[in-house]
Each structure stands twice: as C-alpha cells, then as structure tokens.
A and B are shown apart, each in its own frame.
Chain A
Amino acid sequence: MRSLRGSTALIIVALGMVLMAVSFFLLGAPIGFPPSGVEHSNPRVPFAPAFFILGVIIVFLAPVLYELYPGER
C-alpha cells in the first residue's frame, strides 16, 4: 500500500498537471485559425500564463513535499 507521503506527492503532481492543462487549453487564448485574429490572440482569462506557471511550480513542489513530509525518518 502506498504511504500517505507518496500519495500526497502524487496528488500534488496531478493537481499541477491539471492546472497546467486547464490554463493552457481552457483559460489561455483559444487555439484556432487564423491564429493572428483577435479572438485567437487574447487569453480567455487574464493571467492564464501565470496559472500555467503555477501548475509547473506545483508539480515540482511535489518532490520537496515528498522529502520534507513529516513522519518516520
């Protein structure tokens, strides 16, 4: 059975990945043609790139949490 430490780390990785995917495909500018059009240029939600970055940060926070998670040494 996976430890609570491992499960927490995996959940955090999954959360980060979901945030990255959502911000890229749903919050960012719609992917479509012509790409130079206004409707395909601006993000649907401002700061969508910042959310994507947050996703990357959360993913790489998982190993830190995995190592620093309080418990048996």
Chain B
Amino acid sequence: MTAETEKRELPLGVGRITKGWILFIGFSVVVLAFGIYAYSVQFTQGEIATGMRDLGTMGGATWGLYITMAIYFVGVSFAGITVAAFIRLTAQAYLKPLARMAEVLTVVALILGALSIMADLGQPIRGIVNLFMYARPQSPFFGTVTLVLTGYLYASVVYLYLDGRRDAGILARVPSRLRWFHRLWAAGYKDTPKEKERHKRTNFWMSVAVIPLLVIAHSTLGFVFGLQVGRPGWYSALQAPAFVILAGISGLGHLIIFAAIVRTRLNQRKRLNMDVFSWMGKFMLALLLIYVYFLIVDHLTSTFTAREEELRVFNAVLWGEYAWIYWLSVATLAIPLLILARQFFAKKWNIGWLVVSGFLVNVAAIGKRYLIVVPSQTYGGLLPYAVGSYSPTWVEYGTIIGIFALGAILFGIFAKTFPIMHLQEKHEGGA
C-alpha cells in the first residue's frame, strides 16, 4: 500500500463506525420509520387522525403538539447559534470546542422545527406554496417563514459551512474514505496566512450579522402569539422576550447534554473541561433567573384586575385542566435553578448535575410551550362558545417522536463525517 492510498484514522472519531453507533442509528431509524408511519396515517386520513379540531364551534384547538414542538425546536436552535457567535465575538478560546456542536445543534433543530410545522399543515405543499406566494409582510407569520425557517436556517448552514472549511482543509490532506467529502467542503482551502485572516474576518462578520437576525426571528415567533389581541393568554408584551430567554435555556440544556456525551464518548476531558461546563451552567442560571422574573411579572400583570376571559385561561393553567403541566414545568425550572445556584455559590460544578439540569429545563420548555399554545385556544375565546379541549393522539406523538429520531440520525451522521469540535494544532498534519 502506498503512502497516498494508505487509509489513516481521522481525529475525533470521524469515519470510525462503532457497534454502539450502529445500534444508536439503527434504533433511531426504527423510531423514524414509526414516525413516518404515524404521519402517513395523518396524511391519508386527514387531520381527523389528530386531536386538533376547530376553535369554538368544534370546541378544539387548531394548534397542538406540532406547533408546540415547532416553537420548542426553533427555541433550541437559538442557543446554538448564539453560543457559537458569542465565542467568535468575544474570542473565548476555552469555549471554542463548543462552537461546532452549537452550530450543528442549530441547523438540526431548525430542520426539525420546519418539519413540525409541515406536519401541522393538512396540505403541506399547498401551505408552502401559498406562504411563499401570499404571506403578508405585516404578519408575524411572514417573519416566521422568511426569517426563521429560511433565512435563519440558510444563514446557519452558511455559518457552519464557512466555519468548517479550515477543518475540512486539514482533513482533506489525510487519505481516508471521506476525503472526497472533506475536499468538497474545503473547496480549495489551504490554510495560508491570507486565507486564515479572511476566514477569521468572515466568521467575525457572520457572527455580527447572525445575532440580530436570530433575535428578530425569535421575537417574530413570539409575536405570532403576543400580537393576538383577541386571544386572552397570548396578548402580552412579554411574549417575544420570554420566547427568546426560554429558547436560550432549552438550547443550552441540549448543549450541556451533547458536550457531556462528546466529552465521554470521544475522551475529550481536557478540551471540554470544567471551565466550559461551569460557563454553560452560569449562563443557564442567569437565563433561568431572568425567565422566572418574566414569569412572575407576566402572571401579576395578566391577573391584576384582569378581564373574566383572561382569568379563565389563567385558572385553567394554574388550578384546572393544565395544572399538572404547569406545575411540572415550574418544578422542572425550579429544580435546575436550585441545582445551578447551589453549584454557583459552592463554586463547584458537577457535570452529572448539569446534565440533569439540562434535561429538566427541556421538559419545562416543552411544557411551557404547550401551555402557551393550547389553553388560550380551548379556554381563551371571547365569543360565547363552551370551553374546548385538546389531547394529542398517537399519530401526533408518533410523528413528533419520529422527528426527534431524525434529529438524532442527523447529529449521529454528522459526528461520523466531520469533527464535532474544532481541530487543534496537533491535528494539522493529519490525524
């Protein structure tokens, strides 16, 4: 075997297919197949297969689990690109190992968010065509389609692509089965001083451009609810900022979990050290405190001499049909808050507890998104209709589980084709 054709091992587990990985992907494919089957039932039978019904006359909710998860996924994407941009702008070298993970998280979460919206549409193709043809600039939906699902996703892909060029250029020097892919990604990148300088400049300006885009995009999503004056429970100035903050919390939770997995599976204890995890913990603690403040202010404002319709939604959420979801969400916000505060004051961070916090805040985020979407539709009508109800069916649960599985597959495949963290100097001569 000549030196040129000899296959060498790539860094960070790239191209190394393990039994564990095959099992993980195999399981995810089975779950995805179930999700596709669930969606096929909905596609052939129509939305009658879901728990969604018209508001008012049919006593239901037209937005249910799919929209809840769409908001959740788009929220998760927020922290990814924010963290990546923050690392670039502040040149925090010790956080650099998080950047690639964060970028992939953003792209994958946005794809899953878009699919959740597609699943919500009875006629997805008609929905897409009409939105591109007729969406109204003044409507927050316009911003959701143009900024979140296309502009933001596209910008994130560009960001990930450009950021990965240097590493692709380094990997392209190594003979491997994936060399063609790394060459394609590198697109002639040779890591010369001029290219390095340009690369640094581009990344900086991309970070500058992406941050306002994502704040506008996430606020727009909040406006979809917050601007609906005729819907008690939704109409609030705090919807958009609270969306952004909870988005940050759930995304950081994911990032902590992914970083912990990468640290263990790829034996990256040195690069993904306690400084990195304590930074994420402190960031999440700060966002949690802001969110709790928003939560209290929102409740006080909406109940202080509130209208009857407003109180009806509030009571259903706090003490009625949705109370278990509300209190579960509160508990899964409070527990991580206490865990993080304790670690912060003790100045001692534990990855296990951070992972637990990351998981719990995501349970809270899904719960809170559900409470934003559903109760205002079932309990918040201004017209004299009876109170409605909504329960997701197995079709909706199946489709969403399938979408989660697709995310796992995308993440798993990426980690085996490209380094999930930036390569260090020692990798520059190859693996």
Contact = CB atoms under 8 A, between A and B. Distances in A.
A7 interface: no
A68 B187 contact: yes
Contact of A49 (B146, B165, B187, B190): B146
B150 interface: yes
A42 B134 contact: yes
Interface of B: 131-138, 142, 145-147, 150-151, 154-155, 158, 161-162, 165, 187-188, 190, 192, 194-195, 198-199, 202, 205-206, 209
B128 to A, nearest CB: 10
Contacts of B165: 67
Interface of B is mostly: helix
Listed residue (A48, A53, A60) with the most chain B CB atoms within 10 angstroms of its CB:
A60
Contact of A53 (B132, B194, B199): B132
A49 B198 contact: no
B158 A64 contact: yes
Interface residues of A, number: 29
B162 A49 contact: no
Given A49-B142, A52-B142, 15 more contacts: A24-B137, A43-B137, A46-B133, A49-B131, A49-B137, A49-B146, A53-B145, A53-B146, A59-B209, A60-B154, A60-B155, A61-B158, A67-B198, A68-B187, A73-B195
Contact of A63 (B136, B194, B205): B205
Contacts of A46: 133-134
A50 B151 contact: no
Interface in A7-42: 24-25, 28-29, 31, 35, 40-42
A59 B159 CA distance: 13
A66 B138 contact: no
Given A49-B146, A72-B194, A67 B131 contact: no
B48 to A, nearest CB: 29
Contacts of B162: 63-64, 67
Contacts of B147: 56
A4 interface: no
Nearest to A70: B188
